[in-house]
Amino acid sequence: YEAGTLEPGISHFLKITRSYWSGLFHCYDVQGLPRTNNDLEQAFGVLRHHQRRCTGRQVASSSVVIRGTVQLASAIATAIHSFTSQDLAQVCVQTWQQLHSDLRQHQLTRIEQLRFRRNPQAYLTTLEKLLV
């Protein structure tokens, strides 16, 4: 092929594409996996829509920041497959406890950030007392 002045750019594009080729098109291997960014955005939009309906708020709550990874994965999984109580009983308790702990830690971090934003001086004073 002849690309003229675009030759370096096209060569670079082909090189990069080849290096990522094995992982580029999972959407054709995994049923239900969004094929485009628009499809993926729709999944996020559905989650926000359900959040607003459940809470009565006009915007999604801040819990989406804390638990969004779990909520989104759950929403997509339940849209693809209906789970029974037997399916849920097979979940590893230790894995669930670790996930719960991680989410709780993330929530505590967000609470500390909020406390700092609301009253930085009081937050820093409390922190200073803990460190001294």
Note the pLDDT tens digit of each residue in 88-101.
Answer: 888 888 998 998 99
Return the pLDDT at 73: 82
* pLDDT above 60 (res 1): no
Return the pLDDT at 122: 94
Phi, psi of 32 (to 5 degrees): 90, -10
DSSP state of 5: G
**Domain locations in the chain as residue ranges:** 1-84, 91-132
> Against a cut of 0.75, is the pTM above it?
no
Secondary element (H or E) of residue 42:
helix 37-55
User: What average pLDDT does the chain have?
Assistant: 85
Note the pLDDT tens digit of each residue in 50-87.
Answer: 888 888 888 777 777 777 778 888 887 887 888 888 88
Angle 64-71-41 (CA atoms, 0-180°, nearest 5)? Answer: 75
Return the pLDDT at 3: 67
- The residue assigned the tokens 């708020």 is 57
